[in-house]
Structure formats: structure tokens, C-alpha cells
Amino acid sequence: MPSWWSKIKTILTKSELSSPTQPAIHEIITRSDDFLAEYDIWRGGPKHKKMLNWISEQYASYQNNADDQSDSIDFLHTASTKGLAIHLADLDIEVEEAQFLMDFFKEKIRTHQYRTQVSDTRTYSKNTWVETVERHYLKPKPQYDEAGKIDQAFGNITLLLTLRDDKVYNLKMSATAYQDRLFNAEKQFSELMRAVTF
């Protein structure tokens, strides 16, 4: 039987050698009853509304090529992937509030015929900090049109909340569409933005 010190050394070595693909800790996300109760309070409160209004305003500025878009948010637009990255470290947001926002996005996406494929968290060493990434990965429920093509809705959606040394760093949402004749064209990203902010 290994000694206590051997176990500690094994854990520390595993942590030092960890990476995003080989995390030191990999767990399924579970939310406690206390968390869910606080989440319900947040959903009905002013911080929730203020954050969603701010995201909507920033997206409108982005669409209009306005100069007043905040440096605390970026939008991605490529042929196959659309998304946003909110630099929460700039916004003085606590970890739990960031988790509330990520879970709220997931909840709203699920009302658009999506299912949660996986919700997990990975913790690993990176440079001089410990990085934890919480992830919700959602896929549309299979639906076909009259021609037999698959309705991909907004594509596969990934929500990533990144913490560095247990402090909020950023929250990303990306929608990746299939570029394949088996699938209908994806819905507009603007519809997804409306879905998660209203």
C-alpha cells in the first residue's frame, strides 16, 4: 500500500503534467440545491437583467460597426462558426454569477429543441496558473424536412466558462454549423443572440 507522501507526490506530479486534453480533474457538472435556489433569485433580479441588456447593446453595436463597442466583449463570425466571448475578468463578476449566466444561456438554448450532450469541468495546469473550464455542449434534436435534410438549427453550441486560479476569466458561446448537403443552412446567429438575451 503506497504511503501518504507517495500519494501526495502522485497528485502533484499529475497536476504538473496536466493539460486541457489530460486534465488533473475531470468531473460532470452538478449544481447543488443552494446553487439552484440562488440561481432562481438571480434570474429574477436586477443583475441578470442588466447583464442581458448590456450583451444585447454590445451585439447591436457590433452589427452596426459602432465605435462604442466595449473591449470586454468580442464577436466571432466565420463561415462555419459564430460566437461571442465575454471577458468577465474586466467586469468584476463573481464565479457564481458567471455560472448563473452560463446556465441561463444553456436553459434558453434548450427551449429551441436542443439537448445537452455533456456538461463537465476540467482543471489543469497552464503556465503560472491553474485553469478550470466548465463546459455545456448542446446539440439540436434530430429533425428532418420534407426533402429529408437535417435541420441543424444554429448548429452545435458550446458554452465555456474559464476560471484562472478560481477567478473568473471569460465566458464563450460558439455555434458551429455543418457545411454539408445533408443539412439545411443554419439559422442566423442574431436569432441565437435574441434567444439567450430575452
pLDDT band at 147 (very low <50, low <70, confident <90, very high): confident
Burial grade of 192 (CB within 10 A; 0-12, 13-18, 19 or more): buried
What is residue 11's three-state secondary structure?
Answer: helix
Number of domains in the chain: 1
Q: In angstroms, rounded to a whole number, what is the distance separating the alpha carbons of residues 174 and 6?
A: 42
- 185 versus 189: the higher-pLDDT residue is 189
pLDDT band at 185 (very low <50, low <70, confident <90, very high): confident
Residue 73 burial (CB count, 10 A): 22
Q: How confident is the model over 81-96, as a mean pLDDT? A: 94
Q: What's the pLDDT score for residue 8? A: 43
Q: What is the pLDDT of residues 187-198, one digit of tens each?
A: 999 999 999 998
Q: What is the domain extent for residue 60?
A: 4-197
Q: What's the pLDDT score for residue 68? A: 84
Residue 138 near residue 156 (C-beta atoms within 8 A): yes
| Concatenated DSSP letters of 53-103 | HHHHHHHHHHHTT-TT--TTEEEEE-SSEEEEEE-GGGGT--HHHHHHHHH
* Torsion 143-83-62-68 (CA) sign: positive
pLDDT band at 16 (very low <50, low <70, confident <90, very high): low
pTM of the prediction? Answer: 0.88
